[in-house]
Structure 1
Amino acid sequence: MRVSYSWLKEYTDIPLEPRELADRLTLQGLEVDAIIEYGNFTHVVVGQIESIEGHPNADKLSLCVVNVGQERSLSIVCGATNMKSGDRVPVALPGAVLPGGFAIKVSKLRGVQSEGMLCSRSELGLEEHSSGLFILPADAPIGTEVARYLELRDTAIEIGLTPNRSDCLSHVGVAREVSVMTNSQVRLAKLDLREAGKPASEYVQVDTSDSGDCPRYMARIVTGVRIQPSPQWLQNRLVACGIRPINNIVDITNYIMLGLGHPLHAFDYDKLERKEVLVRRARAGETMVTLDEVTRELTEQDMVITDGQKPIALAGVMGGLHSSIDNGTTTVLIEAATFDGSVVRKTAKRLALHSESSHRFERGVDPNGCQYAIDLAAHLMAELGGGTIAPGAVDCYKAVSMPRTLLLRLPRIRQILGATIGVEEVVQILQRLGMTVLSSQDDVLQVQVPTYTGDIHREVDLIEEIARIYGYANIAPALPAVEALPPQKTREEALLDIKQTLAGRGYFEAINYSFTSASNLEKVLGAGKRVHLLNAISEELAVMRTSLIPSLLMNIKGNLHLGQDSLRLQEISYAVCEGHDGTGEIPPSRLLLSGAVCGEMPKQWWTDSPQPLGIFHVKGDLEFLWNHLGLALEVRPASRPWLHPGISADIVLDGVTIGYLGEIHPQVRQALDLEARVTVFEIEMEPVLNSSLARSWGFSEISRFPSTWRDLAFVVNQAVTTQQVIDAMRGSGALYLENIRLFDVYQLDGERKSLAFHLVFRDASQTLTDVIVDQQIKAIVESVSRKTGGTLR
């Protein structure tokens, strides 16, 4: 939004210079993108053409003698043809710098000296293209600076508005913001409408019953207008805001849109066929020619203004060429309306037809602003166009928009802003923003919000406005008090967390039926008691599962047949307890977490070939999960009939076996016709959930001191497990031992092996010396030797 500084001063007192005003607006929430100076050129004066002669060396040039109020007249070469002797025109003297950086100096044109330049409107920056010189009024004082005579000097402030600030898409809206910062009043001109003739209701009828997208539609009639250029002051206002002047009627509608933020449209009344205005949705395939002379094909999603017969405007977007104002217009129908922003936005986007009007309607226009906007338009058309205003206006206002009433709690202001603002100052800020405090009781204010503030709907919106006006710089910065509380999870959240953690390790979730075939269970788990269904769907789904593993193996088999050669599957579900014979209404069940893995790790740059997925990969995944749950994974060598001997183990928690992991026995794979080697695990979840949810969380400060590390290798018997060695090191009393990591296993002979560990030491209060670390190492070596019989290699 571009606002004119001089225009802004008509609406409110501004004791600030433009750049200072721009800074204050930015601090108040209206970010200024640019400041543009208009009419700041000098050495351009009013001159009178005394004589015109042909150029001796160029047929298309002429030589003009011009009086600029100096001791002698100037000789200036000119290429325009629309001037005559006696005309008064802008003259750029040597030394002038015109808009665009064009410098004027004495020069020779086709062998004839030219002492300046006669200027057109475009050369003064008043329009984009000009066909000839700018002919000034005959009474323009010779020698007077053109910028001062035409009152061209102005400063435009370009504001980058966010979509919620539709109230500032006008000079009045920005003036309200300025009045808040300067504690002044906003002034709107009082209108004295001199109406005559038959009333507007006899000229036109308005019907919006076919459209619920037009809350209000007003129409006024002005007769006997003369189409002519707008006065210079009006053209200056439009140019400063980036709008091209067209004629007095169209310029007035643009002037009011920029001034009040309410788009208007002017129709040539005599071009309306049925002398009525009907607002409706377009019909499929209907077409109209818009003002840009493009034929638009409409859809039922578009809203149109019609004359009862055909579309004469795209509602809120652009008028139609058929009903546009031209030099022959004498009677004008003025439209002031509000339309549904979503409908306007969809039409503008579909047709790639974004306009100043659609920009405002998309963001919201106050329906209660229609009356003053249309009255001001009629007043200006009568004044600048010599027209007569028909009495009254046709007003179709379905649901009257009323001011919103909100409750504002003063303690809530302190809670959100972290600042204590007195009730009197809060009331004053709200009143300066145009709001009304209806009542104040028990630290609660009842606030009435005007309808032109479209983005204030909640208490927190009021608090944001208070903070904006109070000044963010006046609110002392303070860090929020954050209390570190241990995370609390429900059972359902814990189960979801487990699924997501395994998903992060590459496990896809499988969801299988709770029943399967008896043969599958027997092939995997062997013979046993089964719970049979009374009305089984098929033999393949005839018994309740006692384990999730058979179903996962069938999933693996099916995916292998489809060409998926590397798989990680997980499933959390209930299974019937083993040994149940099916008697009783509800068989006892247990919640299980099961997984199945087969295939290879993706080939990496440091390996020559892909690495097969096996039991240690699965164990690593479970260790990651256990660490995430705050538990320590403990596995013990064990064997089960359906697992490969020597490649299986039990999973233990608090000394109790809760599950197993291992590779499927080759005979089981043969029975299932499963070629790939598959590693599985199955864990009872109740003990895991109970331990995980019951554990206490602790927080410790991150140490400011560096760590130190040592590598130790122990020679132990084959029967000694890595976990036993780790437990021995942990139980050595080494206070500063922070982390242990196994990084090498070396088989010395059939009875002995070497286990190499990386040990990290750290103290939270000091940097550890070699003497202290050596003492820790000595205690660790002695503990391992005593508890496992291992020796330092």
Structure 2
Amino acid sequence: MKISLNWIKKYVFPLNMDENKISNILTDIGLTVKGIHNENQDFVLDVEITPNRTDAMSHYGIARDLYAVLKFRGYKVHLVKPIINEEIHCNNSNNKSNLSILVKIHDTCIRYSGIFISKIKIETSPCWLISRLRSIGIKSINNMIDIIHFVMYELGQPIHIFDMDQIEDKKIIIKNADNDTKFQSSDKIIRKLDEEDLVIYDTVKPLSIAGMINHIKSNIHVRTKNIFIGSACFNPIIIRNLIKKHSIKTETQHFFEKDTDPNQTVYALQRSAFLIKKIIKNKIICSDIIDCYPNPISISKIRLRYKNIINIIGKKISKKKIKKILSLLEMMIDSENDQYLLIRIPFYRTDVQREIDVIEEIFRIYGIHKIPIHNQIKIPTFPKIFFKTEYEIQKILFEQLVCFGFQEIISYTIRKNEEKFSSLLNSFLKRQEIKILNPVNYNYQFMRSSLIFSMIECIEYNIKNNRIKSNIKFFELGNIYYKINNKFLEKTYLGIAIYQKKKTESKNYPFFYLKGIIEQIFQKSGILNYTQILSKHPLLENGISILYNHKNLVELGKFKNHIFKKNEIFYAEIDWKYLVSIIQEKKIIYIPFSRYPTSRRDLSLLVDKTISFEKINQLIKKKENHIIKKIQIYDLYEGKNFPISKKSYTVSFFFESQKETLTDKIINNSMKEIELFLKKKLKAEIREK
């Protein structure tokens, strides 16, 4: 939006100010004050206004905002509102026109005001008006249309004008169009309207599409003697839909499609009538303003709490300064006490709807530059999960799983009799099943000894009832039951399962995805130093066991598939009580973030097939290379072009220092040490890079 500085100076006056200060406030640094005060020389600013700040989409709106800033910062300025003559219609005491306005759609047309002016003369605009419009890129057309454009850019209120003699029965009707209505607009395009379009009618024909573009017959021309000026506040959503639907491109649309102040429609008409009277030499006759405002919008009130201002801004601002800023922003105080202010928001501030919006305004006027910035930025260095109760830990981790797309299930603790894998599991773990003495259902006689049985049952149920449209992810926190040496035991586990309906391109993808979920839980819990070994779990194949302090914490792998044929279940079972105890006993260790960049190097090596990545990981950790921040497996390959007894790993090393930026020489020397170390310990062959 283009803004003329000379135009703004008509409303906000700097008095007794140092010339250099005026220059810095109103212009770019380096422009002379002499140039500013020269009426023949103007400076135009291209201002980008955020869509919510409709109050600043005008010269007076920007002047009003500028006044608040300058006044608060101690400059002696005055704000002058554009002049109107509220008694403009009194030129003729008998000027009560028969014009009427009827609004049929109150939810779309919030307010509509109009005025009838007769004995006007269409001619060229005066030089000052042409100059004002030209400064912001608006071409002069004639005195009436120029005044309409001037008031729009002065106040931000859209206005439209009709030839009064073309209005049938002197009646304005705002309603939806009739179906298949043909509308030939002033741009000579014939548009087809339907019942969703907002149109201004007389008793016979359409006059305008929502005041944005007129019918070719309702436009004013050089012979026009009587005019009707309308000022409206429409629902901006309806206007935006109309603009898009009918490809409307006019000056007015930019104002109509925003939230405008309904209380400004009458004022804009008074301003227009005042300027018409000022530039036309003969005496015009104005009717009373006809105003249709069926459901007046109530003024918004917001409670502003002092403590919230301090918490948000980060600095204590005196109550006196807060009240001064609110007064300059025309936010009136209804009531107050030591804790808060109850303030009324002016209608034109459609963007201020919450307490935080008011605080933002205070912050803006007070000055962001006045808020001190600390040299140190304080951020939490550990997850909030530490020192929590078991319930709070459960809540945090469950929310994390839900965010990953998992659904919680709650299943029976009694399993089916035909479960084939139960005996295999109990035999491996050297424990006995618990049989119910008096089962309610003969098919359910045993307590479950693993959560995987209830997971499978739940998945089967969903498959049979066609409830699975894609891959499914379940989790359950529950107890398992078993006997050892005739002693009844009960343990709590967190089970996580992924059911893959169709195979992806990589058959191991769900395994690594599930492993990543477990690692995310560990990261959230602050568990870092864990190890991985190949799992011997009888129900899981190609699985791993995750140990913490040499004690089993997680079993993870693919369920041995004898039930689901081509479909697969990937399952992880976490010892819940052990996990909770680790989290609760975890000590907080602060390691400052490095200010220096991280560098990455990849290493491809050929090793014996029996060597796992975890073994490589643990070996390198024991080497205690302090600049290695992280090690990740990048690729694993075995098969064609390699011996049967060998496999290839590509490992990514991430280097970082707390003291300096690592040079290529330091990193390359470290990589050579790692290569020699792996050759010695694992008899690894380093592949060509």
Give the TM-score, by structure 1 length.
0.59
1:572 aligns with 2:475: yes
Give 1:277 shift. Answer: 0.9
Q: Which stretch has the larger CA shift, 460-469 or 345-354?
A: 460-469
SS class of match (1:160) = coil
1:169 aligns with 2:57: yes
- Contact (CA 8 Å) 2:415, 2:448: kept in 1 or not? yes
Alignment of 1:5-20 (within 5 A): 5-14=5-14
Give 1:491 shift. Answer: 0.2
Structure 1 letter corresponding to 2:9 = K
Name which of 692, 696, 711 aligns with 2:587: 696
- Contact (CA 8 Å) 1:317, 1:348: kept in 2 or not? no
Distance 1:446 1:662 in 2: 61
Distance 1:372 1:763 in 2: 67
Give 1:324 shift. Answer: 0.8
Q: Which stretch has the larger CA shift, 271-280 or 617-626?
A: 617-626
Give 1:742 shift. Answer: 13
Distance 1:492 1:255 in 2: 60
Structure 2 letter corresponding to 1:492 = K
Q: Deviations over 1:298-319 (max 9, x none)?
A: 3444321111333211114222
Name which of 296, 312, 326 aligns with 1:416: 312
Structure 1 letter corresponding to 2:420 = L
SS class of match (1:381) = helix
Distance 2:407 2:346 in 1: 55
SS class of match (1:348) = helix
Distance 2:520 2:267 in 1: 69
- Contact (CA 8 Å) 2:447, 2:480: kept in 1 or not? no
- Contact (CA 8 Å) 1:549, 1:595: kept in 2 or not? no
State how many pairs are aligned: 586
Change beyond 3 A, Cα 1:530–1:226: farther
Give 1:276 shift. Answer: 0.9
Distance 1:355 1:512 in 2: 61
Q: Which runs of 5 or more residues in structure 2 are unaligned?
A: 386-392, 427-432, 462-469, 484-489, 599-609, 634-651, 661-689
Alignment of 1:348-359 (within 5 A): 348-359=243-254
Give 1:495 shift. Answer: 3.9
Bigger Rg over Cα: 1
SS class of match (2:109) = coil
Change beyond 3 A, Cα 1:654–1:201: farther
Structure 2 letter corresponding to 1:298 = L
Distance 1:636 1:488 in 2: 30
- Contact (CA 8 Å) 1:404, 1:449: kept in 2 or not? yes
Equivalent residue, structure 2, for 1:224: 119
Q: Deviations over 1:9-39 (max 9, x none)?
A: 3333246899976852699xxxx9xx9xxx9
Alignment of 1:309-458 (within 5 A): 309-385=204-280, 386=282, 388-401=284-297, 403-437=299-333, 441-442=337-338, 444-458=340-354
Equivalent residue, structure 1, for 2:25: 24
Q: Deviations over 1:209-234 (max 9, x none)?
A: 43322222111111122222222222
Change beyond 3 A, Cα 1:304–1:211: farther
Give 1:642 shift. Answer: 5.3
Distance 1:226 1:741 in 2: 84
Q: Which runs of 5 or more residues in structure 1 are unaligned?
A: 41-147, 559-566, 581-586, 604-611, 707-717, 744-757, 767-793
Equivalent residue, structure 1, for 2:152: 257
SS class of match (1:162) = coil
Equivalent residue, structure 1, for 2:4: 4
Distance 1:216 1:417 in 2: 38
Q: Deviations over 1:514-548 (max 9, x none)?
A: 79875553598489778899799xx9x99996545
Structure 2 letter corresponding to 1:317 = M
Give 1:206 shift. Answer: 0.7
Structure 1 letter corresponding to 2:67 = S
Change beyond 3 A, Cα 1:594–1:343: closer
Alignment of 1:75-154 (within 5 A): 153-154=41-42
1:521 aligns with 2:521: no
SS class of match (2:62) = helix
Structure 1 letter corresponding to 2:276 = M
Name which of 286, 289, 298 aligns with 2:193: 298
Q: Deviations over 1:571-627 (max 9, x none)?
A: 4336774669xxxxxx99854345799999989xxxxxxxx9699989986984685
Q: Deviations over 1:460-493 (max 9, x none)?
A: 3333333333333333333687464742343032
Equivalent residue, structure 2, for 1:108: none
Equivalent residue, structure 2, for 1:474: 370
Q: Which stretch has the larger CA shift, 241-250 or 284-293?
A: 284-293
Distance 2:567 2:335 in 1: 79
Distance 1:643 1:444 in 2: 62
Structure 1 letter corresponding to 2:293 = Y
Q: Identity across aligned pairs (percent)?
A: 24
Q: Deviations over 1:497-516 (max 9, x none)?
A: 46878x9xxxx989898798
Structure 1 letter corresponding to 2:6 = S
Distance 1:457 1:464 in 2: 11
Equivalent residue, structure 2, for 1:244: 139
Give the TM-score, by structure 2 length.
0.67
Give 1:569 shift. Answer: 8.7
Give 1:256 shift. Answer: 1.4
SS class of match (1:572) = strand
Structure 2 letter corresponding to 1:460 = I
- Contact (CA 8 Å) 1:523, 1:672: kept in 2 or not? no
Give 1:633 shift. Answer: 4.5
Q: Deviations over 1:363-409 (max 9, x none)?
A: 22222222232123223334444353244121112233455444444
- Contact (CA 8 Å) 2:114, 2:228: kept in 1 or not? yes
Equivalent residue, structure 1, for 2:495: 592
Distance 1:473 1:377 in 2: 41
- Contact (CA 8 Å) 1:548, 1:594: kept in 2 or not? no
Equivalent residue, structure 1, for 2:578: 687
- Contact (CA 8 Å) 1:406, 1:459: kept in 2 or not? yes
Change beyond 3 A, Cα 1:542–1:158: farther
- Contact (CA 8 Å) 2:495, 2:571: kept in 1 or not? no
Give 1:263 shift. Answer: 1.8
Change beyond 3 A, Cα 1:530–1:19: farther
Distance 1:635 1:2 in 2: 65
Give 1:254 shift. Answer: 1.2
Q: Deviations over 1:137-190 (max 9, x none)?
A: xxxxxxxxxxx9xx8654333322222222222222222234332521314324
SS class of match (1:184) = strand
Distance 1:224 1:518 in 2: 100
Equivalent residue, structure 1, for 2:182: 287
Q: Which stretch has the larger CA shift, 327-336 or 300-309?
A: 300-309
SS class of match (1:346) = helix
RCO greater where, 1 or 2, for CA within 8 Å and sep 6 or more?
2
